[in-house]
Structures are given as C-alpha cells and as structure tokens.
A and B are shown apart, each in its own frame.
Chain A
Amino acid sequence: SQKIEQNSEALNIQEGKTATLTCNYTNYSPAYLQWYRQDPGRGPVFLLLIRENEKEKRKERLKVTFDTTLKQSLFHITASQPADSATYLCALDNSGTYKYIFGTGTRLKVLA
C-alpha cells in the first residue's frame, strides 16, 4: 500500500541547534516533493520544493534533500529559533499528477 511517513512524535530541540525532520514514502513515484509549515488553525505555508532529479535545495536557514533510491527526504532547519516551532508537513505528487498527498506532519518545538 502507499504510505508517507513522518516522525509522528514531537521533536524538541534547543535554540540554535539544527532540526532534522524525515519524510519516507512507499509505493509512490514522485516527480517532486514539497515541504510546508502549518501553525495551529492555519493553512499550510509552502517552504521548499525539490524535484526528483535534484539532490539538495536550500533557502536561507532551510535545506531539503531528496533521495529517490532510499525514498526519503530530509528537511533541515539550521540555527533554529523558537519562532520555528510549528508542524512541518511533507507532500508529494504521484508520477506528475496534480494530486499532492500529505504526510501526517512532525511537530517541532524549539526551546529557548
């Protein structure tokens, strides 16, 4: 069956450290993968998109990697701040369809 798995437990880290979040998928062939941030009661906010032929993408303190052999994406936030506390969602298409499927999300808490 098709699955997208993210760390279901909350991730607590100290301010200034690097947070690393994982997204693993099974039985999908995504053309690209997206990462979103979601705050309570709000809509997902787009952060980064990485294509299947890209290994790594960066934007300011954010970095995403995509390994289609391992079927995994890693999302890193460097020099984390309490304002980075939120739920982070990965989403992927399936073979280029316009149907983005979301993982369950990982709740990140950055402690001051």
Chain B
Amino acid sequence: EPEVTQTPSHQVTQMGQEVILRCVPISNHLYFYWYRQILGQKVEFLVSFYNNEISEKSEIFDDQFSVERPDGSNFTLKIRSTKLEDSAMYFCASSAPGDGPAFFGQGTRLTVV
C-alpha cells in the first residue's frame, strides 16, 4: 500500500540552526501538507501546497518556515533559525485531487536544544 515517508525520524539540533525535514508524498497525490504536534497537544496545521505554491498557511507558519518541492518526489519543510519552542513532531501528509482524505507519514521528531 502506498505511504508517505518522512526522514529523518528524529533530529536534534542546536537553537538557531537551520533544519530541513523531508517527505516523499504518495506518488499520484497533488496536495501536500505539513502539520506539527507538540507533545501532549493537538495536531496543528502549518501549510498546504499545491501546484508549486502555498495554498493555505496558519499563523504558526511565519517567515522562519518555508516549503519546497525540489523535484518530482520530495517535499521539504525548512526552519531557518530554530527555537526551543519548535520542538515537536512534524507530520507530512498528502491527498489526491478532489475532496479525498489526507494520508500522513510517521513524523519527524524535532528536538531543539
């Protein structure tokens, strides 16, 4: 069964460093998403991406964040200068055209120290 894959599964970074989280969405999907979940809290929407541009973004997704689809298979989230409060699980998801569900990867646990 096709699945969304994310790498790495766990990343530890120093405060102020840049990190790039990587995702390979399901191959025939056209909509891509990033969500985050701080430990013990709810899953929060960050951004949706379609046709090589951002469709929607939340107030969390400020200038420190950016997304890119550098080739036909990868979708990345970059955090330019990490803060302690960026520590969370980051989930990538994708969905097919139309009103289909979003399918999630297993997440990258980001720890900022």
Interface residues of A (CB under 8 A from B): 31-32, 34, 36, 38, 41-46, 49, 51, 89, 91, 93, 96-105
Contacts and interface: CB of A to CB of B under 8 A. Distances in A.
Given A43-B91, A44-B104, A97-B56, A51 B43 contact: no
Contacts, number: 63
Given A43-B107, A98-B48, A98-B95, A89 B43 contact: yes
Interface in B18-61: 31, 33, 35, 41-45, 48, 50, 55-56, 58
B107 A100 contact: no
A7 B98 CA distance: 30
B2 to A, nearest CB: 12
A5 to B, nearest CB: 11
Nearest to A36: B104
B65 interface: no
Nearest to A93: B99
